[in-house]
Amino acid sequence: MNGLKNAGGALVARLALFGERLQTQLHAHPRRIAAAVAAVLMTGGSAAFAVASLGPDPADLPVRTLTESVASLADGHELSELTDLQSFSLYRSETTRPSDTAETLLQRLGIADPQAAAYLRADDQVRQNVLGRAGRLVSAETTPDQQLLKLTVRWAPDEDGTFRRLVVERKDGRLATRIETGKLTASPRLAGGVIRSTFFAATDAADIPDSVAMQMADIFQGEVDFRRSLRKGDRFAVVYESLEADGEPLRAGRVLSAEFHNDGKISQALWFQENGQKGAYYTLDGKSKRQAYLNFPVEFSRISSGFAMRLHPIQKTWRAHLGTDFAAPTGTKVRTVGDGVVSFAGVQNGYGNVIFVDHANNHTTVYAHLSRIDVRKGQHVDQGDTIGAVGQTGWATGPHLHFEFRVNGQQQDPLTIAQATDAARPISKAARPAFDKLAAQMRVELNAGDQLFTTASAR
């Protein structure tokens, strides 16, 4: 009984002490206690809730500041060195367009540099070789604030295996221009596709360059009628050169090998050149594929008027059109369709600037309305050589090439001449082992390409 009384007395003493502390807290922090009570009332007493701390307010606690020295990461470096550590360059690439001005080119490159734009507008080398020139590869190096440090433009004007490099570079705050010559490097590319509508639609879908597609049309012109005999599902594979300048693909080169599946028939071709001789295309078993004439004297063009009766665009009378017109932009290269000798190169009546080339068997080809003439009378030309450029001189209402094929002076349909065969020189016995080795390698590559692209197109 006495123990119970003692315990009760101790409990009363503790409650009294707690009451005193609670009263003290109520006087010291009335707002905090009121907020806690309000929270309890809002819960209705039926849910769990948090009780505000009845301890001392942190704002009333003493504050002590500690200071400790830390070694600087910049110790031992000059300010200029620290600035250099933060600098970096940005690199961008583009392709020139015929409508380019200095401002539009720099804008596509992400460059905001009025000084550089003014320099490009005024520089003769830039105006002649960059502005308004289509398809030239451009790379730029800039500062983080979009100021031009270096502009490099690359292009290959000739077929001599070299390229030009125009460089505009900032040194000591001033821009300067120089032009250099470099050597193109060739690397093989494998491509292929399946015919859905036309051959050129298939090559476009496969990202095959137009020049490669035209070479394939020339190579297989004696076996495949690309206008009438193609079937949906026909397929092809090709290995060609990618010509690179400073490691950047600049343009496509020669077709090295090709294979075409047309209506169940397989045609193959391989480029081979013996020492000291001109290269040519052969079947993989060594037979020459060379035709006497090429189908087209102009690459990347369309036939705008064929060998038939037509209304003359200038004289407005119906008359026989004794040739074929190929529509193409002014300046497009014109090539001779066969080996021969230039018998005339100059101006002649309605033909304007015109070239006549005499071939074997009393055959003559005519190339009219040219914007320029690149050969002279008496000059020997080989099949595929550039002899001039498309224009609209003479009786022409727009830029195009008028092409004729004559036999004993009489005009014939030019689109039939490609079927004429050519007695090409066979591969010599000495070169045969090298040819067979190359043919075996190309068989493997073409088979791999055919399987790869056929499988991809079936998906």
The pLDDT score that the predictor gives to residue 224 is 84
% of the chain surpassing 90 pLDDT: 38
The runs of H, that is alpha helices, within 165-198 are none
The pLDDT score that the predictor gives to residue 319 is 43
The pLDDT score that the predictor gives to residue 241 is 93
% of the chain surpassing 70 pLDDT: 74
Other Cβ atoms less than 10 A from the Cβ of 226: the count is 18
Question: Of the ranges 106-110, 265-269, 370-374, 446-450, which one carries the lowest mean pLDDT score?
Answer: 446-450
The pLDDT score that the predictor gives to residue 76 is 67
Helix, strand or coil, per DSSP, at residue 169: strand
Q: Say whether pLDDT at 175 is over 90.
A: yes
Contacting residues for 363 by C-beta, under 8 A, at least 6 apart: 338, 340, 405, 406, 407, 417
Q: Say whether pLDDT at 428 is over 90.
A: no
Phi/psi at 34 (5° precision): -65, -40
Of 342 and 145, the structure prediction assigns the larger pLDDT to 342
- How many angstroms separate the CA atoms of 53 and 50, rounded? 9
Question: Of the ranges 251-255, 293-297, 348-352, 357-361, which one carries the lowest mean pLDDT score?
Answer: 293-297
Of 266 and 64, the structure prediction assigns the larger pLDDT to 266
Of 318 and 321, the structure prediction assigns the larger pLDDT to 321
Q: What is the largest CA-CA distance in the chain?
A: 149
- How many angstroms separate the CA atoms of 250 and 135, rounded? 9
The pLDDT score that the predictor gives to residue 313 is 46
Of 406 and 308, the structure prediction assigns the larger pLDDT to 406
Helix, strand or coil, per DSSP, at residue 404: strand
Q: Say whether pLDDT at 50 is over 70.
A: no
Which residues sit opposite 181 in a β-bridge?
164
358: part of which helix (H) or strand (E)? strand 352-358
In the predicted model, what is the mean pLDDT of the chain? 79
Do 270 and 290 form a contact (C-beta atoms < 8 A)?
A: no
The pLDDT score that the predictor gives to residue 312 is 41
Helix, strand, coil % (nearest 5) of the chain?
30, 35, 40
- How many angstroms separate the CA atoms of 356 and 336, rounded? 10
Q: Say whether pLDDT at 343 is over 90.
A: yes
Q: Say whether pLDDT at 272 is over 70.
A: yes
Q: What band does 259 get if pLDDT is binned at 50, 70 and 90?
A: very high
Of 126 and 33, the structure prediction assigns the larger pLDDT to 126
The pLDDT score that the predictor gives to residue 86 is 54
pTM tops 0.75: no
Determine the average pLDDT of the residues in 322-339: 87
DSSP code, position 298: B
Of 221 and 17, the structure prediction assigns the larger pLDDT to 221
Of 135 and 313, the structure prediction assigns the larger pLDDT to 135
Question: Of the ranges 189-198, 305-314, 361-370, which one carries the lowest mean pLDDT score?
Answer: 305-314
CB pairs under 8 A, 24+ apart, for 420-426? 420/291, 420/292, 420/293, 421/222, 421/291, 421/292, 422/288, 422/290, 422/291, 422/292, 424/280, 424/288, 424/290, 425/277, 425/288, 426/286, 426/287, 426/288
| Tens digits of residue pLDDT in 78-93 | 655 655 555 667 888 8
